[in-house]
Homo-oligomer: A and B are copies of this chain.
Amino acid sequence: MDLLNAQVTIVGMGLMGASLAGGLRGKCRCVVGAARRAESIEIALARGFIDRGTTDLAEGVREADVVVLATPVRAILRQLPEIASLLPGGCLLMDLGSTKGRIAAEMAQLPGHIQPLGGHPMCGKEKSGIEVADPALYQGCTFILSPLERTSQEALALGRALAEGVGARPLILEPERQDFLVATVSHLPYLLACALVATADATTSQDPAAWEVVATGFRSTSRLAGSDVTMMIDILLTNREEVLRALDTYQSQLCEVIRLVEDGDEEKMREVLGAIRKTRREMYPASQQVIE
């Protein structure tokens, strides 16, 4: 089965699902949207994201070659066993959940006629919902794929083609390794941003001048605090150990930074902060810096 001949059914027409649908349109035989609310299907049809849509999950997946669960992590965990019996033999069952350990464990329990594949596209927006969906959302982003031992090479190739079809770069990663990495590079920044907003709210916000002096720095650093709460709670609850470990390391690093300011040793500050600046610049080569 290649992508061009496949029927892809996407379950969940939020930001991620609807954007994926829109990006896949024309790249496969048929894009079907399945959602609980009829209104979401209407919008997806009106905006040309899907070929057809349904609020009947069983109907939506019955003839699918690929099914993608585009719902929050704990909804995915509930949906996996429910949906299994509805799928035709050989169907590729993917998800877009931000944490992979528990989903992989659940996928391992699926009946043998299903080909499971964990997926996690590293993109998103601060706002959620189909209203802000964009078929170009996945372009240029890394799309993590976490195959299970039982996942066939053919199924993996189809998942890869799907990621590439929406302009993303597939990256094969084991579930544990992905959960460890995203705890630090994705979930930790969210919590730091939350603590920053809470700090400002507890102190400077009392001064009416506070928001007039907010520079672009606070804006960037606090941006993630505006993320969708339901999605983030799902992530934090299903990647708790790794997130707590990342927070622990962060606390130690923050203490180092505090000691640096307390000591006020200029040479030491120049050395440490200079090295950090260099590291940050290496993370994002100059060619990419304009879009920050």
A interface residues with partner B (beta carbon < 8 Å): 122-124, 126-127, 141-142, 144, 169, 171, 173, 177-178, 180-182, 184-186, 188-205, 207, 209-227, 229-230, 232-233, 236-237, 240, 243-244, 246-247, 249-251, 253-254, 256-258, 261-262, 264, 266, 269-270, 273-274, 276-277, 279-281, 283-284, 289, 292
Contact = CB atoms under 8 A, between A and B. Distances in A.
Closest 7 CB pairs of A and B: A189-B221, A122-B215, A225-B280, A198-B253, A195-B253, A195-B254, A220-B220
A171 B213 contact: yes
Contact of A261 (B244, B254, B257): B244
Given A126-B292, A182-B213, A220-B223, A196 B192 contact: yes
B218 A189 contact: yes
Copies in the complex: 2
Contacts of A253: 195-196, 198-199, 202
A249 B213 contact: no
Contacts of A229: 269-270, 273-274, 277
Q: Which of A178, A185, A258, A289 has the most CB of B within 10 A?
A: A185
A257 B124 contact: no
Q: Which of A141, A169, A178, A258 has the most CB of B within 10 A?
A: A258
A99 to B, nearest CB: 13
Contacts of A198: 253, 256-257, 276, 279
A237 B264 contact: yes
A220 B218 CA distance: 10
Contacts of A169: 212
Contacts of A214: 122, 185, 283
Contact of A213 (B122, B210, B212, B227): B122
A279 B233 CA distance: 18
A256 B261 CA distance: 23
Contact of A207 (B122, B141, B177, B246): B177
A257 B215 contact: no
B173 A213 contact: yes
Q: Which of A178, A199, A212 has the most CB of B within 10 A?
A: A199
B212 A142 contact: yes
